[in-house]
Amino acid sequence: MNIRPAEAADRAALEALAAAALPSWPPAAFAPADARQILVAELPAHGVAGFVVVQFALDEAELQALAVAAAHRRQGLGAALTDAAFACARRRRARVMFLEVRASNRAALQLYRRAGFEIYGKRPRYYRDPNEDAVLMRAALDSPLPAI
Ligand SMILES: CC(C)(COP(=O)(O)OP(=O)(O)OC[C@H]1O[C@@H](n2cnc3c(N)ncnc32)[C@H](O)[C@@H]1OP(=O)(O)O)[C@@H](O)C(=O)NCCC(=O)NCCS
């Protein structure tokens, strides 16, 4: 597996992957932007099999989306993409990474916990179709986080 920054030629593959794995993710969010980093996981015989999108603001990073093609799950791609997102955020001098995830998304919650995220709150009924709470998670990228 190879993890690298997304290129313009990946756009169609990214949109197809998102349509299948994250239907509410807007295709416009794959547009290149200075404050956004999109990394793809590429498998030799299959091409792009996963992606992660990280948005940066000052010394904070937000993991906005992570998806792996259904046929290639449970092979470590999601964890590798999350690690690559951390490395990228550290290079940009971010001190903390945030994310929000559906309360029922046990696969993602488990992956994020194992990657080093901790739960710090929830947003009741944040998601629609179906209505659901968002679980708020964060991970310190360098020093310990202050208590909130
Ligand atoms: C969540 C998702 C990205 C995980 O990708 P993945 O490549 O399968 O994850 P990995 O193989 O790296 O798994 C790493 C760890 O996460 C946990 N995990 C992953 N999938 C899991 C599942 N279905 N059930 C329980 N734990 C799971 C496990 O602890 C796993 O380690 P293990 O395989 O050694 O037990 C993938 O299921 C996906 O694309 N889902 C749809 C989109 C989505 O929900 N994205 C997250 C919200 S933005």
Has residue 70 been placed in a domain?
Answer: yes
Would you place residue 24 in the very low, low, confident or very high pLDDT band (cuts 50, 70, 90)? Answer: confident
Instruction: Using the mean position of ligand 1's atoms as its centre, give its distance from the Cα of residue 73 in Å.
Output: 7
112 is catalytic: yes
Has residue 57 been placed in a domain?
Answer: yes
pTM of the model: 0.96
C-beta atoms surrounding 44 within 10 Å: 7
41 bridge partner residues: 3, 50
Has residue 84 been placed in a domain?
Answer: yes
Has residue 147 been placed in a domain?
Answer: no
Has residue 145 been placed in a domain?
Answer: no
Instruction: Return the residue whose CA atom lies nearest to atom 41 of ligand 1.
Output: 21
Average pLDDT on 8-34 reads 93
120 is catalytic: no
* CATH classification at residue 76: 3.40.630.30
- For 68, the 3-state DSSP assignment is strand
Q: How many domains would you assign to the chain?
A: 1
Instruction: Return the residue whose CA atom lies nearest to atom 5 of ligand 1.
Output: 78
Residue 16 vs residue 129, higher pLDDT: 16
Print the domain residue range for 22.
Answer: 2-140
